[in-house]
Amino acid sequence: MGGDRGAGGCRRHPGLPQERVEAQLSGKREYRVTFLPGGKEARVAAGATLLAAAAAAGVELPSVCGGEGICGRCRLIVRQGQVEAAPTLHLSREEIKRGYVLACQAVVRGDAVVEVPPESRAGREAVVDLDAREFLAPEAEAGEKFPREPLVEKLFLSLPPPTLEDNLGDQERLFREIRRFRPAPILQAGLKVLQSLPALLRDSRWRVTATLAQRGGTVELLQVEPGDRAGTTYGAAIDVGTSTVVAHLIDLNSGETLDAEARYNSQRAYGEEVTRRIIAAERQGPTRLQALVVEDINDLVSLMVDRQGIKLSDVVAVLCAGNTAMVHFLLRLPPGALRRHPYVAAALAPPPVRAAEVGIRINPRGLLYLLPGIGGWVGGDITAGILATGLHKCEGLALLIDIGTNGEIVLGSKDWVVACSASAGPAFEGAGVTCGMRASRGAIAQVEIHPTGVRYRTVGDAPPQGLCGSGLIDAIAGLFRAGYIDRAGRLRPDAKLVRERAGELAFVLVPAGEAPREIVITQRDIENALRAKAAIYAGVSILLREMGVRPRDLSRIYLAGAFGSHPKAQIEPEGQIPNGACKRYQDCRQCLCRLFECHLRGHQQRYDWR
C-alpha cells in the first residue's frame, strides 16, 4: 500500500506523488504531513493513513503486517496537527498520552508534524554493513571445497583468416575455434551476434573474445568482443531474502569475491511476511513487487561495480537464490497458488533468462540464473544451503535447519536427502514481538536472567533498541530457569519485574530510563515464540520419525539463517531441536560448521555446475 503510492509518482501525472494526484482527482482536501527528524514532507488527501503519507514522503517505516494493524511496528509520535487514531492494544496508556500512534491506524485530518521514534528507524545502515561483512567471512574455505567451472566464461581466440582452401563461414570458423578449447556439442548464437560478426572479425584482425554461457545442455555465444577481453568476466550472486537482499560481485576468472553489499528488501512496505506480499500481488498485480526487488538488485550491483571500477557491461551473469515466493516476484510469475492447498509453484526450476528481460541491468545479453527450488515452500535458498554445507555428500546423517519465518528442515546424507518446511511465524526474526526487531545494531541478542536482575548484550554493543530472535529465545530460557515462567510459559504475576501492561502481563527487560523506550517481553510474545519453536520442533520430529531416524543417529546439525549466526543460539539451542539431538549437538559442536549465511557458498557452487 504505502510503498506503491510513494515511490514512483503517478504515471498519468509524472512528478506528482500518487497520493496527491488522487486527492486532486477526488476533490478531497489535501494536507501536509512533515516527518521529523529530517523534515521530509508529503501532501496527502484527507483520510490517508500516516503510513501512506510516510511512503509518499520517502520515509521508510517498519510494517511487518503490511498495514493491517497487527504487528504494532509502525510507531510514530504526533507532535502537532490533526490525526485521528484507531484504538490499539499495541500502545500503552502512557505512550498514547505521549502522542504515539500506529501509522497504519492513524488517518490525516489536517496538517500534521510527526516524529519517527528511534525504534521505528534504528539500525538500517548497520544491519547492511554487518550482513555484508559476515557474508564475506566463509570465503576463505570456499575455494578448496568447490572446483571452479564457471557457467559463463570468456575465451580469447585467434582465428585463422579464411582462404580458398579453408572457406568456412564466419560463424562456423568461430565455433570450430571455440570447440578446440572446450566441449560444446550444441553451440548457438543469436541473430544480433551474427549480424555484427563479419565486420567485427575483420576489424579485429580475427583476434576476438567470445563470451560463452551454459544454458542447460546448450552453450550460447552471448557476445563477441574485439581483442583480448578474457580477463574481464564478472558475475553477481544475489541472495534474495524476504528481509534483506545481499549481493556479491565475483571475478569469474579467479572465483574471488571482490565485493559484497546488502540492503533491506524494499518489498517490506507490503508486509514482512511472504504471504502478505503474495496477497498484495494478487490484489494489485505483481508488477510493483517485481519492480521493487529488481531495483534493489540493480542498486546493489551498480554500487559494487562503481566501487571496484568495473564496467557494468563486463558483468555477464547474475545468479539468484531465494525462497519460492521471491523467485515468483522476481520473474513476475503469479504467486497465488503458493499459499493455497496444495501449495504449487508456477515453476520450481525456471530456466536461465536474459537478465534484461526482468529489468536487471548488467550486460544487455547477460543471463539470469536461478537456483532450483525443491517445493512450494522449500526454495532455491535451501538448495544453496545443501550445496554449501555439503549435506548431500555427508557420510553420516546430517540435519540442516534454516530458521526464519518459514523454517526449512533438510535431513539426509550422500545417499538421500528429504526436506520439509514449517511455518514458524516471524517471531524468530523479531517481528510480531512487542519490542521485537531484526538482529541489527542495538538489538538485544543475548540475555541472562537471574533472580537478582537482567544482563544483556546488544548487536554492535549499541544502546538497546529492541529484542531480536536469538535474544527472545535466550530471554525465555532465562525466565524459565529463574522461575519467572512456569513450564507452560505463563508469567508469574507476583514476580519481581513482572507487571501488567495494556491488559496483559509483561516482564521488564530494560526499563525506560536505560533505553529510548521500555523493552518488555509480554505473555503474548512468549506464546508466539513457543508456537514458533513448536512448529520447528514438529517439523524436525516428523521428518526424523518418517525417515526412521533417531536423534542420536545424527552426526551433524547445521543452523542457517540470521538466527544461526549468533554463537550462543548455536551452543544452546534451547529446544529448537529434539532433546536427543540437542545432546548430540553439544557433543559434536566442535565439528559443526558455523554458518553465518550458507547461501553464498551455494551460489558459488552453482556457478560451477555444468
- The overall longest dimension of the chain from CA atoms, in Å, is 100
Q: Is 86 or 571 the residue whose CB approaches ligand FES more closely?
A: 86
Minimum gap (Å) between residue 88 Cβ and ligand FES: 8
Q: How far is CA 537 from the centre of its chain?
A: 23
Whichever of 63 and 522 has its CB closer to ligand FES, that residue is: 63
Nearer to ligand FES, 274 or 331 (CB): 274
Q: Which is nearer to ligand FES, 426 or 564 (CB)?
A: 426
Q: Which is nearer to ligand FES, 268 or 361 (CB)?
A: 268
Partner residues linked to 77 by β-bridges: 100, 115
* Residue whose cell numbers read 528481509: 243
CB of 434 to ligand FES, least distance (A): 12
- Measured from the CB atom, the residue of 69 and 460 that comes closer to ligand FES is 69
For residue 591, what is its C-alpha cell?
565439528
CB of 133 to ligand FES, least distance (A): 30
How many residues are recorded in the chain? 610
Cβ distance to ligand FES smaller for residue 118 or 390: 118
Nearest distance in Å: CB 563, ligand FES? 22
Can you list the pairs that 300-304 forms with residues at least 24 positions away whose Cβ atoms lie under 8 Å?
Answer: 300/236, 300/238, 300/245, 300/247, 300/261, 300/262, 300/263, 301/236, 301/247, 301/249, 301/360, 301/361, 301/362, 302/361, 303/261, 304/236, 304/247, 304/249, 304/258, 304/259, 304/260, 304/261
Instruction: Determine which helix (DSSP H) or strand (DSSP E) holds 264, and give its type and residue range.
Output: strand 257-264
State the nearest-atom distance from the C-beta of 364 to ligand FES, in Å.
Answer: 39
Tell me 260's DSSP state: E
Q: Which is nearer to ligand FES, 49 or 209 (CB)?
A: 49
Contact between residue 425 and residue 404 where contact means Cβ atoms under 8 Å apart: no
- Closest separation in Å from C-beta 35 to ligand FES: 16
The CB-of-54 to ligand FES minimum distance in angstroms stands at: 10
Q: Which is nearer to ligand FES, 268 or 606 (CB)?
A: 268
- The torsion angles phi and psi of 209, rounded to 5 degrees, stand at -115, 125
Residue 255 Cβ, how far from ligand FES at the closest point, in Å? 42
Cβ-closest residue to ligand FES?
A: 104
- Distance between CA atoms of 8 and 14, rounded to whole angstroms? 9
Intra-chain end-to-end CA distance of the chain, in Å: 42
Do 264 and 431 form a contact (C-beta atoms < 8 A)?
no
**Smallest gap, in angstroms, from Cβ of residue 292 to ligand FES?**
17
Instruction: Give least dist CB 375 to ligand FES, A.
Output: 29
Cβ atoms of 181 and 153 within 8 Å: the answer is: no
- Write down the least CB distance from residue 283 to ligand FES, Å: 16
Smallest gap from residue 137 Cβ to ligand FES (A): 33
Report the C-alpha gap between 243 and 563 in whole angstroms. 13
Q: Which residues bind ligand FES (CB under 6 A)?
A: 63-65, 67-74, 102-104
d(C-alpha 352, C-alpha 248), whole Å: 19
Residue 488 CB contacts under 8 Å (≥ 6 apart), including other chains: none
Tell me the C-alpha distance between 71 and 65, whole Å: 6
For residues 61 and 388, which CB has a smaller minimum distance to ligand FES in the complex?
Answer: 61
CA distances from 218 to 221, 331, 607 (A): 10, 22, 16
Contact of 33 with 108, CB cutoff 8 Å: yes
Closest CA to 238 of 124, 346, 398, 361: 361
How far, in Å, CA of 507 to CA of 522, rounded? 6
Q: How far is the CB of 326 from ligand FES (least distance, A)?
A: 20
Query: What sections of 73-222 are H helices per DSSP?
Result: 93-97, 124-136, 139-145, 170-181, 191-203
Please state, in angstroms and as integers, the Cα–Cα distance from residue 354 to each residue in 181, 242, 319, following that order: 25, 23, 12
CB nearer ligand FES, residue 89 or residue 582: 89
- The 10 Å Cβ neighbour count of residue 125 is 10
Nearest to 240 by CA among 597, 595, 565, 593: 597
> Residue 3 Cβ, how far from ligand FES at the closest point, in Å?
12
